[in-house]
Structure 1
Amino acid sequence: MALVAMASAKGSPGVTTAGLVLGALWPRPVLVAECDPAGSDVAIRMTAPGGQPLNSDRGLVSLAAASRKGLGDDVIMAHSQQLDGGLDVMIGVRTPEQIGGMGGLWQPLGITFNQMFSADVIADCGRIGPASPQLPLVQAARMVVLVCTATGSSVAHLRERLSSLVHHVDAKLGVIVVADPKKRDGVKQVWSVLDAMSVPVQHRWHLAYDPVGAAFFDGRGQGRLDRTPLIRTASDIAAELAALVAMPTQHDFDMAEAAFPHGQGGPHGEGGPDSLGGPNGEWEGR
């Protein structure tokens, strides 16, 4: 399975909503993980089955404490919970101050997310930059997708972040532009900006700016979600993105080698697949 890291260059272009809607439409089992140092939105916006509140104490913070005994599918899913509708999520930190307790978890967590046997992972990484604490997790992803709007300032920050990020990650890069479906000229201008850059952004999508559809992922939706522009555009993105990350890349083997140097397990040693975060593999606490 694979890790897809979603992030923004600046501001709030809708990364959390995009991650939730893609997770809801994902064609394989998937976990949406909040890895935004700014704090959790999902616990505030969404509910558990039956309309019950989500447990804000069960998620990334509780996983950090449990990770001292190792990371794997079972451990990760034990600290995840289900939204009303069936989507599995991992709740992020309640406040930015809790990030300090994450310590060295980001890199092993990213590698484990990318090597899970039971599900793909879509990680909402919030705003990302070279000094971001969650960057090691982003570096472990098979695909890094930046989300922006079609405004001039958002595109300017996108260019800046891509130019910097390309020196820090080896994963495939993608861009999702959140824009009014009727304003395709603005989206085309973003594509023109990307074409003029030397950064290899081969994968590009237009996600409809749709307040009516987005309201369903903010606990306020009414009517038929499947008829909204958000769902119509997100369905195609989810299918294509899932297909792109379905096959392992050289990046995955490089990350596995970093986690398990030659002769210490993993695909180049004795450990085999179970050493990469499966039910039989463990991470040492960091």
Structure 2
Amino acid sequence: MALVALASAKGSPGVTTASLVLGALWPRQVLLAECDPSGSDVAIRMTAPGGTPLNSDRGLVSLAAASRKGLGDEVILAHGQQLDGGLDVLLGVRSPEQVGGMGGLWHPLGLTFNQMQFGDVLADCGRISTTSPQLPIVYSARLIVLVCSATGSSVAHLRERLAALASQVDAQLGVVVVADPKQRDAVKQVWSVLDAMSVPVRHRWHLAFDPVGAAFFEGRGHGRLAKTQLIRSATDITAEMAALVASPQDLDMAEAAFPLGER
């Protein structure tokens, strides 16, 4: 299967929310891995089935201790949990101070994520810079998606980070702009910046900035999630991303489940 890394070059434009939304809509088996060294948000926002709290001691840190005997699907999944709604997650560190206990896990973990038989992996890598400890996860991904807002400072940092990544990875690169659906002109300006770069970024998506929809992924939503602008915009994005990293076997299974005449 495949590893998809989501990250930002500046601030908090919604990487965790985007990761949760994509994971909830992903068309195949998927694991959401929190690889943000600043600390886990999912354990704070979300609950286990039945509304019970997630175990914040079970995740990357416990995996780091167990990984001394090797990594693989069974080892990683043994330290995962399930969210209310069915999404499998590997919780991140509780605080930045715990990152030191990760040791040299980042590199082998990235390689293993990209080869899991269980399914695809969506890695929420948070903000990345040239010194970020989670960079090996990003470098191992088959698809790297940078999430940004449509502000000038966010786009400037996006441009610099894309240029650096293009010289270091062979992965496909994509950009998700989180913006109000009415800010189409601002989103087009981001695309213009990308067009002016020497780095080819063919995969571009506009994810709706939608506080109502985002509230569901912060544990306080009400109403019908499927009707929100967030889900409406994320549905096509998820399908396209999943297709980009699909293996021939994945495509064969999709064809069997949804014959051409039924799509």
> TM-score normalised to the size of structure 1?
0.86
Counterpart Cα distance in 1 of 2:122 and 2:219 = 20
Contact 1:148–1:177 under 8 Å retained in 2: yes
Counterpart Cα distance in 1 of 2:201 and 2:111 = 23
Contact 1:208–1:233 under 8 Å retained in 2: yes
Contact 1:130–1:168 under 8 Å retained in 2: no
> TM-score normalised to the size of structure 2?
0.93
Q: Does 1:58 align with 2:58?
A: yes
Aligned-residue offset at 1:130: 1.8
2:163 corresponds in structure 1 to 163
Q: Does 1:148 align with 2:140?
A: no
- Map 1:40-59 to 2 at 5 A: 40-59=40-59
Counterpart Cα distance in 1 of 2:137 and 2:107 = 5
- Map 1:71-90 to 2 at 5 A: 71-90=71-90
Counterpart Cα distance in 1 of 2:247 and 2:179 = 30
Aligned-residue offset at 1:166: 1.6
Deviations 1:76-97 (A, max 9, x none): 1110000000000010000101
Contact 1:129–1:165 under 8 Å retained in 2: no
1:35 corresponds in structure 2 to 35
Deviations 1:182-218 (A, max 9, x none): 1101100000000000112110000000000000000
Query: Number of matched residues?
Result: 248
Contact 1:6–1:126 under 8 Å retained in 2: yes
1:125 corresponds in structure 2 to 125
Aligned-residue offset at 1:247: 3.0
Contact 1:16–1:124 under 8 Å retained in 2: yes
Q: Does 1:111 align with 2:121?
A: no
Query: Unmatched 5+ residue regions in structure 2?
Result: 249-263
Runs of 4+ residues over 4 Å off in structure 1:
none
Counterpart Cα distance in 1 of 2:127 and 2:166 = 16
Alignment-mate amino acid for residue 61 of structure 2: V
2:7 corresponds in structure 1 to 7
**3-state SS in 2 of match to 1:130:** coil
Deviations 1:71-130 (A, max 9, x none): 111111110000000000010000101111111111110010000001100000001122
1:209 corresponds in structure 2 to 209
**3-state SS in 2 of match to 1:218:** coil
**3-state SS in 1 of match to 2:217:** helix
Aligned-residue offset at 1:234: 0.5
Contact 1:130–1:165 under 8 Å retained in 2: no
Counterpart Cα distance in 2 of 1:2 and 1:164 = 22
1:198 corresponds in structure 2 to 198
Counterpart Cα distance in 2 of 1:139 and 1:155 = 21
Counterpart Cα distance in 2 of 1:243 and 1:119 = 14
Counterpart Cα distance in 1 of 2:153 and 2:81 = 36
2:261 corresponds in structure 1 to none
Aligned-residue offset at 1:168: 2.1
Counterpart Cα distance in 2 of 1:245 and 1:135 = 20
Counterpart Cα distance in 2 of 1:166 and 1:39 = 27
